[in-house]
Amino acid sequence: MSWTRSYAYGWPNERTEASTSSTEVSQIIIAYVVLTFDLVILFGGVNLFSGYDTSFLQQYIVPLVSVSAAAALTGFVAHEMAHKVAAQRRGFWAEFRLSPSGLLVSVITAFLGFLWAAPGATVVSGVDERDREDWGHIALAGPMMNVVFAVVFYAGSAAAFVFSSSDAYFWLLMLAFVNGWFGVFNLIPIGPLDGRKVLRWSRGVWAAAFVGTAILAGALAIAFYVYGDPLFV
């Protein structure tokens, strides 16, 4: 699954205090709602448009919307806020700005059965373009937030699988899978992706982060698509 690739930093104003604005809040809410809609379409697939199969909607629409909202919140919003917090802790101005064209592309691709989403970016001001360490730390924060959520959701899925008779484990495993793949995709060192900035800063850090996240994402993919449960049984 293709995911967000737009972390192109740089903004004309500079401030060093932790801050937000009504513009940032409104734009990230818009991006979040659209991305949730994309994921509902992607996860629901053809069943959402099969008028004769009302049982699917009756049984799955609530968990489908809930999981899509949680995936967008953890995979995208938390990822962007990790960039923002990392930048502000280092004394730089940072706010999210959406991309209308990126949102449109995300909706179109969701209807086509895959997702290429660049709903916006955390823009940062005040960092010297030659300061690879600052850029690297700010870029790495987003994918590492996805890794944290992937591990937490996986642990929750394993616990639910062992101790509960509900299908909560499946939805938690889906959230773990989505976050794992969000993280590894953004660590690819090309274009405006986070991986390029991390690699420019430290090849060792990038290699450790990429390989570790790729192994995690691969294991989650096998658990989700092949076994359908977190314990590979």
Q: What is the pLDDT of residue 50?
A: 54
In this predicted model, what pLDDT tens digit does every residue of 158-177 receive, in sequence order?
Answer: 999 999 888 899 999 999 99
Spell out the residues 6+ positions from residue 70 whose beta carbon is closer than 8 angstroms to its own.
Answer: 175
Domain residue ranges in the chain: 22-227
Asked whether residue 131 carries a pLDDT value surpassing 90, the answer given is no
pTM score of the predicted model: 0.86
Over the chain, what is the mean pLDDT? 87
**pLDDT over threshold 80, residue 5:** no
Q: Quote the tokens at residue 2.
A: 């293709």
Contact 95, 11 (CB under 8 A): yes
At 19-71, the pLDDT tens digits run 789 999 999 999 999 999 999 998 887 556 655 556 666 677 888 899 999 99
pLDDT of residue 6 exceeding 80, the answer is: no
CB atoms within 10 A of CB 190: 9
